[in-house]
Amino acid sequence: MSRRWTEIGMALAVVLIVPPVIWGCTVQGTAPSPQPATGDLPSNAATSITPTVTIHLPLVTSMFSGRDEWSLWRGPTALRGANVYQRRVYPELDGTDFMGPGPVGPPYTQEDFDRLAALGANYVNISHPGLFTEDPPYTVDPDMEANLDRLLDMAAQAGLFAVITFRTGPGRSEFWAFWGEDTDSDPEEGWFDPSYYNNRVWVDPAAQEGWVAMWRYTAQRYRNHPVVVGYDLMCEPNSNEVGGYPDTEPLDLWDPEEFYAEYGGTLYDWNQLYPDIVSAIREVDPETPILIGGMGYSAVEWLPYLEPVDDPRVVYTVHQYEPFVYTHQEPPDLTRTYPGTFDADWDGEPEPVDRAWLEALLATVDEFQTEHGVPVAVNEFGVMRWEPGADAFMADQMDLFEERGLNNALWLWETSWDPYAEEVNAFNFRFGPDPDNTTEVPSDLMDVITAYWSRNTLRP
C-alpha cells in the first residue's frame, strides 16, 4: 500500500503509531514437506528471527506439477491469498521490540504461514525489501537475502505459491510508503527525519541500472524455486507523487494524462525502466512470470498508461482500495457505509456506491485485457476491518474478480508478533469489526474471505 493508508496496507498502503505502522491454530491436514531455495548462486548464512481454533484445510483436488507457472495466471482464477509485509528495521526509530529483534520485521513464523493455508489461501504475495542495498554501491544485502529465503521456505512448507514483490532497492527506501509523516511535514506527530527518504531511483540512471542488476540477480537465484510463481518488479511505482525527493522536489501529480504529458519518456516514467528489468530477468530466467503494476501506486485509473512489453509471460497488476474514502475510514468517524451514497470520486457530488460502482471501476481492467490480450491480477486489495458493510464490499469485489478470472491477494495477512499486531491491525480481518479487539473472533468479513479462498484447488 501507499502512504494513503492509515496502516501500511496499500503496497503499502499506512497507519501511524510511534514507531509507524504501514498500511494490509491447529491445522487439520498434512502440509507438503519444506522445499529449499534452489538456484545457481550461493546462499548466505540465514539470520534467525524467532519471535485456538481448529481450522480444516479445504479439499485440494490436485497438486500443481511441472514448471508451467504461466498456466496459473491465464484464467480462470487459480490463486487466491494474501500479502505478508516486512521492511528493514531501524532500531533508532523502531526501538528493540516493536518490529522484532532482527534486521527485517515484523517477524513471521511457520505457524503464521500454516494458518494462512489452513484458512484456504494457496498464494502469498511477499511484499519485501529488495536484495540490494538502497545506497551505492548497490550490492547484495545478506540480511535481506537470508530473510527472503526463510519466508519462501515457510511458504513451501505451508503449501503456498509465492510471488516476490520488492518494495525497496537501489535508490528507493521504504519511506516512500510513509510520505508526509516526517518531522518537517508533521512537526507534532512526524516520527522520522526527512533524511530517511530516498527516491533517487526516479532521477538517477545509476540507481535504475542497480534496480535492473538486482532483479537479474534475484531471478538467477530463485528461478528454480519450487513455489515461486512470479516476480513483481516494484511495489507501487509512485514518482508521480514523490518525484526524486529529496534530490528533487516532489511532483504531486495525480492526473495520469497530466503526468505523462509532462514526464513521459523521462527517468520518472516507469515505462522506460521496467522493460530493461524484464530483459535482464529473461537473460537468466525465461520462464517465471513477471508481474508489473502501473504508476500512481498501481491504482486502476493508471493501468491504461502502462505500456505492455513484448514478453509472452507478463501479468499486469492493479492495487484496488477504491473508494478510498470508504475503505480507509478511521474510528470513530465511520460515516460511510457499503452499499451507500457518498462522494467516492472527489468531485464534490455524492453517488451510489455499490456493486455497479465497482463493476464500472473494473471496466478499465476489462478494456486493458481486451485491447492487449494480457492477463491482469489484483495483488493488493482490501478494506479496514471495521468499515460498515465491509463484508458486503469484499463479497462484491471478490465475486467481480472471479467473473474476470483475476488472481488476487488481499492486504494483509498480519504477523502474530504481538508488539506489532496489537498496534497495527486495521487490515487484520481475523480481529473482527471492533477496533479495540486484538484477538481472533468470528466475523462476517472472515466468512466472506474464507468462502472465496475455499475455491482454491491447486497447491505446489
What is the amino acid identity at position 165? Answer: T
pLDDT above 70 as % of the chain: 85
| Contact indicator for 23, 5 with CB cutoff of 8 Å | yes
386 Cβ neighbours under 8 A, 6+ residues apart: 329, 331, 334, 426, 433, 434, 435
pLDDT along the chain (460 residues), means of 10: 41 37 33 36 35 36 66 98 99 97 98 99 99 98 99 99 99 98 97 98 99 99 98 99 98 99 99 99 99 99 98 99 98 98 96 99 99 98 99 99 99 98 98 98 99 98
Task: Write down how long the chain is.
Answer: 460
Cell numbers representing residue 28 in the block:
487439520
Residues sharing a CB contact under 8 Å with residue 279, sequence separation 6 or more, in sequence order = none
Torsion of CA 19, 245, 208, 381, to 10 degrees: 50
pLDDT at position 66 is 53
Q: Which helix (H) or strand (E) holds 105?
A: strand 104-105
* 318-to-127, 218, 262, 451 alpha-carbon distances in Å: 14, 23, 23, 23
**Quick one: pLDDT at residue 21?**
37
**Structure confidence at residue 62 (pLDDT):** 52
CATH class of 26-459: alpha beta
Q: Is the dihedral of CA 65, 68, 69, 71 positive or negative?
A: negative
The answer to whether the CB of 183 falls within 8 A of the CB of 145 is: no
Where do the domains of the chain lie?
26-459
H/E run at residue 314 = strand 314-320
CA neighbours closer than 13 Å in the CB half-sphere of residue 423: 18
Q: What was the pLDDT predicted at 20?
A: 40
Whether 271 and 310 have beta carbons less than 8 Å apart is answered as no
For residue 63, the model assigns a pLDDT of: 61
Q: Please, which residues have CB within 8 angstroms of residue 232's CB and are 6 or more apart in sequence?
A: 125, 163, 164, 165, 166, 291, 292, 293, 317, 379
Distance CA 8, CA 6 (A): 7
3-state secondary structure at position 176: helix
- State how far the Cα of 132 lies from the Cα of 394, in Å rounded to an integer: 36
Q: What is the pLDDT of residues 134-159, one digit of tens each?
A: 999 999 999 999 999 999 999 999 99
Cα angle, residue 277 at apex, residues 258 and 235 outer, rounded to 5°: 60
- Of 83, 105, 236, 54, nearest to 160 (Cα)? 83
pTM of the model: 0.88
Q: What is the DSSP letter of 311?
A: -
Q: Residue 29: left if φ>0, alpha if ψ -120 to 50, beta else—which one?
A: left
The SS3 of residue 397 is helix
pLDDT averaged over every residue in the chain: 90
- State the amino acid at position 200 in one-letter form: R
Cβ contacts of 370 within 8 Å, gap of 6 or more: none
pLDDT of the residue at 47:
33
Integer Cα distance of 25 and 27 in angstroms: 6
